[in-house]
Amino acid sequence: MQRRAITTSVLAGLLTSACATVGPNNKTPTSASLALPGSYASETAPSEPAALQQWWTRFGDEQLDALISRAIVGDLDLAVASSRLRQAREAATQARADRLPSVGASGQVNQSVNSDGNNGRSYSVGADASWEADLFGGISRSIGASNAAAEGSAYDLASVRVSIVAEVANNYLQARLAQQRLELARQNLAFADENLQIARWRLQAGLVSSLDVETARGARAQVAASLPGYEQNFSSAAYRLGVLTGQAPAALTTELSHVRPLPQAPAAVAAGLPADTLRQRPDVRSAERTLAAETARIGVAQAQLYPRLSIGASIGTSALSLGGLANLLTGNLFGSLSQTIFDGGRLRSQVRTQQAAAEGAFATYRQTVLTALEDVENALVAVRTAEQRQAQFTEALDAARNQAILARSNYRAGLSDFQQLLNAEQALVSSSEGLLTAQGDRMLAIVQLYRALGGGWDPAAPAA
C-alpha cells in the first residue's frame, strides 16, 4: 500500500507539471513590426474599401454574373483546393485524438489435439487501454499546428476562388473586347472598300494614276489581315471560360458568339488602407497561418527532449468453456516513464531545424505582404493611366473623325491626293482602336485591382 501511494504521488506530480508547455507562442506580426505604409502612394485620400465579396456585380452584366457562378461550382482547381482542405481538417481531427486514450479488445479460441486423439479447446478474452500524458505540451502544440494548417488550407481555398473569379472576369472582358475590335475592324474594312472603289472610279475617269488604286488596295489588305487575329483572341478567351467553368473548351463558344457591348465598369474603386488589404487578402492570411503552424511545431520538437509518461491498463480472462470466462478476471495497471539519454544530437537538431522552418515561414509571410501591397499599387497606377489614355483618345477620335470627313470630301472633289485621305483614315483607325484599347485596359485594370485587394470571397467564411 505504501509503494502504491508513492507511485500515485509521483504520477500526480508529473501530471501537474503538464501545464509547463514548451516552445514559443505564436504572435501575429503587427502593422508596426511589418513597417506598413499609412496609405497607398496612388491614393491621396484613403477611404473605406469598396465592397469586395461580389465585386463583379458592379459591372452590371448578367452573363458575367452567371459565368462566375458556374465557375465557382464547376472549376476543377477549386475542387482540388476543397479536397486539400478536407484532408487538412481530418489531419487536425487525428491530432486531437492523441489526447484521448487508446482502447482495444481481443478474443481468442485455441484448439489442441494430443497424441491420444483427445481434443482440447480454450477461450480467452481481453481488453487493454493506453494513454500518454501531455507532460510538456507536445500534443497540444501538435494540435495547434494541425488547426493552423487547416485554417491555412481554408484561406488557400479562398485564394483559388479569388483567382478564378478574376480570371473569369478577365477572359470575359477579353472576349467582349475582341468582339468590339472585330466589329471596329469590319467598319474600317468597309471604309477601305469605299476608298478603293473611289480610287478605281477616279482612275477610270483619268483623274489619278494607278498608284492610288494600288495604295488603296494595300491599305484594305492590311485592315483585312487584322480580322483573323481578333477572331483568334475571341476563341482563346471563350475556350478558357469553358475550362474555367468545368466544361469542354468550346462549350461556351455559341453562347458567347452573340456580340454584346462592353460591360460598364464602376466609376471608381476605393482601395482603403494597406492594413485593410492584409485583412482581406486570403494569401496573406494563409501565410500567417503557416507561420503559426511552424511556430507550434517548434514546441512539438522541444517536447521530445523531455520525459514521456505513458499509462496503461489491461483486463482479461481465460477458460476451457465459454461459460467459464466470467469465473476469473485478471487485470494490470502500469505506468512507464521514458527519457532519451543519448541520440547523437538528433532531437536537438530537429528543434533547430524547426526553428529555421519558422524563420523561413516568417520571411515568406513578409514577402507575401509586400507582394500584396505591390499588386495594389500596380493596379491603382494601371487604372489611373488607362483613364488618362481614355480621355486623350476620346479627344483624338473626335478630331480624327472630322479630319476623315474633310479628307474624303476633298478627295472626291479632286482637291487633295489619295495620300492625304489615307493618312486621315489611318489616323481615324488608330484613334478608334486606341480608345477601345484604353477602355478595355481600364476595365481589365479594375479587375486587377479587385483581385489585388482580395475581392471575391467572404472573410467571415473562408471555406464557403
DSSP 353: H
Q: Are residues 190 and 324 in the same domain?
A: no
Q: What is the CATH number of the domain that holds 382?
A: 1.20.1600.10
pTM of the model: 0.85
The answer to the question of residue 117 being in a domain is yes
**Which pLDDT score, from 0 to 100, does residue 249 have?**
95
Q: Are residues 91 and 193 in the same domain?
A: yes
The answer to the question of residue 13 being in a domain is no
Cβ-based neighbours of 415, under 8 Å, separated by 6 or more = none
The answer to the question of residue 40 being in a domain is yes
Torsion, Cα of 156, 158, 160, 161 (10° steps): 170
**Which pLDDT score, from 0 to 100, does residue 208 have?**
74
The answer to the question of residue 245 being in a domain is yes
Q: Are residues 118 and 256 in the same domain?
A: no
**CB burial readout 107-146, b (16+ within 10 A) else e:** eeeeeeeeeeeeeeeebebbeeeebbbbbbbbbbbbbbbb
Q: Are residues 226 and 311 in the same domain?
A: no
Closest CA to 245 of 171, 141, 330, 351: 171
Closest CA to 456 of 175, 247, 170: 170
Q: Are residues 270 and 407 in the same domain?
A: yes
**Which pLDDT score, from 0 to 100, does residue 44 have?**
62
**Which pLDDT score, from 0 to 100, does residue 1 have?**
43
| Residue entry with cell 469465473 | 327
Helix residue ranges per DSSP H, 205-281: 210-244, 253-256, 274-280
Q: Are residues 285 and 182 in the same domain?
A: yes
The answer to the question of residue 11 being in a domain is no
The answer to the question of residue 9 being in a domain is no
Distance set, CA 104 to CA 107, 109, 125, 136 (Å): 11, 18, 11, 26
**Domain carrying residue 318:** 102-133+306-339
Q: Are residues 289 and 333 in the same domain?
A: no
- Domain total for the chain? 2
**DSSP per-residue string spanning 392-430:** HHHHHHHHHHHHHHHHHHHHHTTSS-HHHHHHHHHHHHH
Q: Are residues 253 and 121 in the same domain?
A: no
Q: Are residues 223 and 288 in the same domain?
A: yes
Q: Are residues 283 and 316 in the same domain?
A: no
The total of other beta-carbon atoms located within 10 Å of residue 335's CB is: 16
The answer to the question of residue 432 being in a domain is yes
Q: DSSP 3-state helix, strand, coil percentages of the chain (rounded to 5)?
A: 65, 10, 25
| Residue entry with cell 522541444 | 302
Q: Are residues 114 and 243 in the same domain?
A: no
Distance set, CA 390 to CA 394, 432, 440, 443, 457 (Å): 6, 11, 10, 11, 31
Listed as ranges, residues in the chain with pLDDT below 50 are 1-18
The total of other beta-carbon atoms located within 10 Å of residue 39's CB is: 14
Instruction: Please give the grid coordinates belonging to residue 8.
Output: 500515485
Q: Are residues 181 and 322 in the same domain?
A: no
Q: What is the CATH number of the domain that holds 316?
A: 2.20.200.10
The answer to the question of residue 422 being in a domain is yes
User: What is the C-alpha separation between 52 and 63, in angstroms, rounded?
Assistant: 19
